[in-house]
């Protein structure tokens, strides 16, 4: 029995196209080997390959002329904040312009859309929808709150020392222009509603969800990234807050449990308290109950702050 030809390392660890197999010198009969799977037209993978979203998206874009990775797949490759029920999705979405035939491949969710050239980009060699276009494409599928969270991350100001960029991925005006170009897209009404609720300053999805919960509870809209000393770049900040009521609100996620971060958090909160502020700290437990306890506490502190205010005291006959 003739010895089976070993796969080149470029083909042995990820899906590959027929063209790449032929370019590597692999004979056609080798593609019928039991250690390979014929996925679909012109596309193969090693039998033992463990699914990797990026590798699957890369090879699909190669064998789909004119198409680009989109929707949930694009969001995951961009590391955008998806809700838990989609964060581990293995869905493979490909979009094409309306004038081209739809992608027809097993396991692929195909879309034909209207898109401008600047709504698609090259990302590590993969044609993919931009973060902004991905946000718009997901408007039909995500809830309003989930869409706001996703959008807040697009418009937030990055920390250059940690992220290697100093500008947001887009602005509210830029997203508004994007919506204006696609007035008939499914989900456009929800996208417009989300845009009105999005704010620059939320550093995480829970911060956005807390702000939305506060609005739902008829609390005044809080400021975001509230600096204790506004003109001091080194000033400690609160995630949300009300300066005129001296109320600082913090959401401490999982990384705040680390010892070094915990020490920093305590110094931060002590600085606010020493300046006469009240500090409320919420965690994942509060997120789990949709911030119901959090909004109750915030209301209580705002009422107390108003009662102690000189104007309120005057109406109450105090002082």
Confidence label for 45 from pLDDT (cuts 50, 70 and 90): confident
For the residues 207-215, what does the mean pLDDT come to?
97
Indicate whether 81 pLDDT > 60.
Answer: yes
What pLDDT does residue 21 have?
87
Indicate whether 309 pLDDT > 90.
Answer: no
Comparing CA positions, the residue from 194, 118, 201 lying closest to residue 158 is 201
- CB-based burial label for 179 (10 Å; 0-12, 13-18, 19+): middle
What pLDDT does residue 201 have?
95
Q: Minimum mean pLDDT among 62-66, 159-163, 180-184, 243-247: which range?
A: 159-163
Q: Where are the domains of the chain?
A: 8-50, 53-197, 205-315
149 touches 158 (CB < 8 A): no
What pLDDT does residue 210 have?
98
pTM, two decimal places: 0.85
Confidence label for 168 from pLDDT (cuts 50, 70 and 90): very high
198 touches 224 (CB < 8 A): no
- Give the pLDDT confidence of 215-228 residue by residue, as tens digits: 999 999 999 999 99
What pLDDT does residue 319 have?
46
- What homologous superfamily does CATH list for 205-315? VSR Endonuclease (3.40.960.10)
Strand partners, 95: 68, 111
């Amino acid at each position: 029995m003739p010895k089976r030809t070993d796969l080149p390392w470029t083909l042995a660890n990820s899906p590959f196209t027929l063209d790449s197999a032929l370019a590597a010198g692999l004979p056609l009969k080798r593609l019928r080997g039991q250690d390979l799977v014929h996925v679909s037209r012109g596309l193969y993978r090693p039998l033992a390959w463990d699914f990797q979203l990026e590798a699957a998206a890369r090879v699909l874009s190669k064998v789909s002329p004119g198409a680009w990775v989109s929707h949930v797949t694009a969001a995951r490759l961009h590391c955008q904040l998806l809700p838990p029920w989609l964060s581990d999705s293995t869905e493979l979405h490909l979009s094409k312009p309306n004038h081209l035939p739809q992608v027809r491949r097993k396991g692929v969710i195909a879309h034909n859309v209207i898109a401008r050239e600047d709504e698609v980009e090259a990302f590590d060699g993969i044609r993919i929808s931009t973060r902004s276009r991905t946000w718009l494409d997901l408007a039909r599928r995500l809830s309003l709150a989930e869409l706001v969270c996703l959008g807040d991350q697009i418009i937030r100001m990055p920390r250059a020392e940690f992220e290697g960029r100093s500008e947001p991925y887009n602005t509210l005006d830029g997203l508004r222009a994007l919506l204006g170009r696609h007035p008939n897209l499914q989900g456009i009404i929800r996208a417009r509603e989300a845009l009105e609720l999005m704010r620059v300053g939320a550093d995480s999805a829970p911060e956005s969800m807390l702000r939305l919960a506060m609005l739902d509870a008829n609390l005044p809209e809080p400021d975001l990234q509230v600096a204790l000393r506004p003109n001091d770049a080194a000033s400690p900040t609160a995630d949300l807050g009300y300066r005129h009521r001296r109320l600082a609100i913090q959401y401490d996620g999982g990384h705040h449990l680390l010892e070094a971060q915990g020490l920093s958090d305590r110094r931060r909160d002590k600085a606010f308290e020493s300046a006469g502020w009240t500090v409320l700290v919420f965690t994942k437990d509060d997120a789990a109950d949709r911030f119901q306890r959090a909004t109750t506490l915030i209301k209580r502190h705002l009422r107390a702050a108003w009662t102690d205010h000189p104007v309120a005291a005057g109406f109450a006959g105090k002082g």
